Structure 1
Amino acid sequence: MRGSTTDALRTALRGAGRTTQDATGWDAAVRAPVGTSRRITFLAADGGTGTTTLATAVALLLARRRTGPVLALDAAGGPSALRVRLGTETAPSLDDVAYGAPVRSLGEARAATQEARSGLHLAGASGWPPQHALWADAAAAVGRFFEVVVSDAGRRAPEEAAALAAESHVTAVVARTDAGSFAAGRALAGAVRDALPDARVALVLVGVAPGEPPFAHSTRPDALTVPHDPVAARSLGTPLPELAAPARAAVAQAAAQLLTEARTA
């Protein structure tokens, strides 16, 4: 499985104009030990940024490539929630996970959540973004039994975003490349950094045109970029389809960088 996945990633990288050396480095970063459980939280700069799609893709990649279990927590809800993108009909709510029977082992943690894919469990099919405290309680109840916890927190006010970031190892603020969305993403990331100077915060720009770096690169050259994927964009409200080669390569890079940041936090 590992070899075939790496080969597919290398093929994707060639299609995206990258090198196989990139593929090897990113795959090594994705599979490296993390020590204690690490939390990666995704925030949306505004509506329609592709945050849930990106969180889904990263969670799936981590679950496929890592030997330990991965947990996805939906703290955003909505018609295209993590549950929908993962193709899971039902999932326990954050309330059930946070305030249900005490969890004392990985087996109990798996039983308290829903297996979405091999190696990936899910909880939190909420219809409305819950308070960060509910997400934090759910993550505390079961998260320590999973190597990586990937959360989709949706769109949040700066104060809520900072509260979520305070209990995460790395926070990814997702924005589109148009001027308005980019400005919102930069402002939200800046607000979190101002509130938490030591927080690991990454800006991820979604919708980059092939061969055209976004104007944002001149302002934030450290931003991660994910190209527009027409098939994924048209699939909202349904399970996430196979991404095109450039998008797969970008997701691999994002997963590697975010997990590396979380590991060293």
Structure 2
Amino acid sequence: MGMISTVLSTSAESRIRELTSLDASVRGPLPLSTRVGFVGVAGGVGTSTAAGLAVSVLVSRRGGRILAVNASSGRRSVLWRAGLTDDASPDPGTAAQRAGARQAADAVQGLARTPGGGYAIDLADADRTTADARWWETVAPVSRFFDFVVTDWGVRRADDLSDVTASSSLVCVTTAADLPAIQHGLDLANTAEGAGTRAVLAVVDTQARLTGALRVVLDRLPIPAVVLPHDLAHAATSPAPSTRLRATTNLGALRLATTLVDRARGRRA
């Protein structure tokens, strides 16, 4: 039992050190507003889940304003994953006023709020379609007033990334936990980096099948890769707050948010 106790104690101390380091990093100041675009290699790989987790951590641990934007066609978008079930479609009147905002109070006028206190904009139409042009019309004029702007762009191809890379300081490519999906994600990330936008890989283990061999592959990728574990709470009919998520899921969310902050600073993390 002595050896087991020592291992457990060492593991706990190591986890505490990691949590302390992650918390300090994710709270660290950034000189400019950061715009993160989340894209998925395919439907159902957890893009909105990853974006929602990142938003929740950024809202809870950073002092600045955080804006979550849905530019995808999915019904459970980043806004839903961040806990918002009310309509967040921009009102035409206040949207026009925000476009000419000169101070933060004008920029947030009329915006919906997530339960944690983040701001939200849903760009999807009633039929769940959206146009990239709406991001430039609605979000771009006010993005400078937010510490982070996190946009869920949905599924994207390499030849359909121009608006995502142009509007983002950083792109987070989301994939499933299998080798073909990870390779596809790496290709998208390389396209973003080729356009001058830093990239991060979020590997969502929705099927609970991430192997040790795949972890070795992720450790050796040329861009940072963060694993978000399988969590049954994400399949619930209502948004799952952090208190209903597994500890490993919350740790993965913190690692992802910290990686985004570090990459925004120009560090590999």
TM range (shorter): 0.7 to 0.9
Question: More displaced, 176-185 or 65-74?
Answer: 176-185
Question: More displaced, 38-47 or 90-99?
Answer: 90-99
CA contact (8 A) 2:39 2:153 kept: yes
CA contact (8 A) 1:49 1:174 kept: yes
CA contact (8 A) 1:182 1:216 kept: no
User: Is the aligned partner of 1:88 residue 2:70?
Assistant: no
Q: What is the DSSP-based 3-state SS (H/G/I as helix, E as strand, rest coil) of the residue aligned with 1:58?
A: helix
Partner of 2:60: 64
Q: What is the DSSP-based 3-state SS (H/G/I as helix, E as strand, rest coil) of the residue aligned with 1:26?
A: helix
Q: CA deviation at 1:95?
A: 7.0
Question: More displaced, 252-261 or 204-213?
Answer: 204-213
Q: Compared with structure 1, are the counterparts of its residues 25 and 45 closer, same or farther at alpha carbon in structure 2 (3 Å cutoff)?
A: same
* Aligned pairs (5 A) from 1:46-195: 46-85=42-81, 86-93=83-90, 99=96, 101=98, 102-127=100-125, 128-194=128-194
Q: What is the DSSP-based 3-state SS (H/G/I as helix, E as strand, rest coil) of the residue aligned with 1:126?
A: coil
Q: Compared with structure 1, are the counterparts of its residues 36 and 217 closer, same or farther at alpha carbon in structure 2 (3 Å cutoff)?
A: same
Separation in 2, partners of 1:264, 1:214: 29
Percent of pairs identical after alignment? 27
CA contact (8 A) 2:233 2:240 kept: no
CA contact (8 A) 2:192 2:198 kept: no
Q: CA deviation at 1:40?
A: 1.4
Q: Compared with structure 1, are the counterparts of its residues 32 and 97 closer, same or farther at alpha carbon in structure 2 (3 Å cutoff)?
A: farther
Which one-letter code corresponds to 2:79 in the other structure? Answer: R
Partner of 1:217: 216
CA contact (8 A) 1:75 1:130 kept: yes
Q: Compared with structure 1, are the counterparts of its residues 182 and 211 closer, same or farther at alpha carbon in structure 2 (3 Å cutoff)?
A: closer
Separation in 1, partners of 2:263, 2:85: 29
Q: Compared with structure 1, are the counterparts of its residues 23 and 69 closer, same or farther at alpha carbon in structure 2 (3 Å cutoff)?
A: same
- Describe the superposition over 1:26-74 as per-residue Cα deviations: whole angstroms up to 9, x where unpaired: 1111111112211111111111011111111110111111111111011
CA contact (8 A) 1:173 1:188 kept: yes
Which one-letter code corresponds to 1:90 in the other structure? Answer: D
Q: Compared with structure 1, are the counterparts of its residues 136 and 214 closer, same or farther at alpha carbon in structure 2 (3 Å cutoff)?
A: farther
* Aligned pairs (5 A) from 1:32-51: 32-51=28-47
Q: Identify unmatched segments of 5+ residues in structure 2.
A: 1-10
Q: Compared with structure 1, are the counterparts of its residues 216 and 94 closer, same or farther at alpha carbon in structure 2 (3 Å cutoff)?
A: farther
CA contact (8 A) 2:41 2:174 kept: yes
The normalised TM-score by structure 2 is 0.81
Partner of 2:3: none
Q: CA deviation at 1:118?
A: 4.0
How many residues are aligned here?
247
Separation in 2, partners of 1:224, 1:95: 38
Q: CA deviation at 1:216?
A: 6.1
Greater gyration radius = 2
Q: Compared with structure 1, are the counterparts of its residues 118 and 79 closer, same or farther at alpha carbon in structure 2 (3 Å cutoff)?
A: closer
- CA RMSD across the alignment: 2.7
Q: What is the DSSP-based 3-state SS (H/G/I as helix, E as strand, rest coil) of the residue aligned with 2:174?
A: strand
Separation in 1, partners of 2:19, 2:209: 19
The normalised TM-score by structure 1 is 0.82
Q: CA deviation at 1:115?
A: 1.4
Q: CA deviation at 1:202?
A: 1.1
Q: Identify unmatched segments of 5+ residues in structure 1.
A: 1-13
CA contact (8 A) 1:174 1:206 kept: yes
Separation in 1, partners of 2:40, 2:226: 14
